[in-house]
Structure formats: C-alpha cells, structure tokens
Amino acid sequence: MWIYQRVAIWNRTIDASDFYESSFWKDPDPVSGLGDRGDPDAIFSVPDGGFRNLHLSCPSPHTVRRNFTSFPFNVRFAIFTDHSKMMGNLLLSAPVIEAIFATSAGNYKEFR
C-alpha cells in the first residue's frame, strides 16, 4: 500500500536575509542533504551531501560546484550593469518573489 508523504519545501523567508550562511546548505546527509557551499580549495566542488559524488560530463568532466557571492552582478562583463551593487539575497525578498509570480499568474509557459 502506497502512503503519500509530503515533500519538504524551502521557506525562503527564513534564509533570505543571510542566504550565504543559511542552514539550508549545511545538511551533510549523503541521501537527502544538499551539502555545504563549494570548497574554494577544490574548485568549489560540493564537499558533502547528496551531490558530493555526482559526476557530470558537459562541457568537460567535473563534479557539482557551488560558488556563492554576495554581489553576483558585480562582474567585469555584467549584463546587469545597473545592478552591480545589488546583493544577491535581495532577489529572495518577498516583494521580488511576489512580483515574479504576479507577472505570469496562471500561465506556466510564461512563468518559465
């Protein structure tokens, strides 16, 4: 007999203010954990969790990498030059998320 069990969801309101240090990334469980941030001494490869030994091949062989920065748009050749000083965690704030959902309410193809 199959029994439905709910899937855990991420409550972004808990982590949005300090996404970089969020406990969301700290679960080292090899089956269910996402693992910690990438190790800068190992090309930002995920050091633990369920993605630790996930090998990918495109465009060349590598493991999963995770490299967060507080200012993701502050790069030399930024497309979003007017946002170069914006912190990445601001994109997780309630007003921004609500605006994203409001632009395509009820239209999955447009939302994608």
Tens-digit pLDDT profile for residues 40-65: 899 899 999 888 989 999 889 999 99
Q: Are residues 52 and 75 in the same domain?
A: no
Q: Are residues 64 and 86 in the same domain?
A: no
Q: Are residues 30 and 58 in the same domain?
A: yes
User: Is 0.75 topped by the overall pTM?
Assistant: no
Domains contained in the chain, number = 2
Residue 27 lies in a domain: yes
Residue 103 lies in a domain: yes
Q: Are residues 64 and 31 in the same domain?
A: yes
Q: Are residues 93 and 61 in the same domain?
A: no
DSSP states of 14-72? HHGGGGGG-GGG----TTT----S-BGGGTTB--SSTTTT-EE-SSSSEE-B----S-T
d(CA 112, CA 110): 6
Of 19, 2, 20, the residue nearest 11 (C-alpha): 19
Q: Are residues 74 and 61 in the same domain?
A: no
Chain centre distance of CA 59: 21
Residue 51 lies in a domain: yes
Residue 10 lies in a domain: no
Higher pLDDT, 1 or 47: 47
Q: What is the pLDDT of residues 94-108, one digit of tens each?
A: 788 788 778 777 777
> In terms of residue numbers, what domain contains 51?
21-68
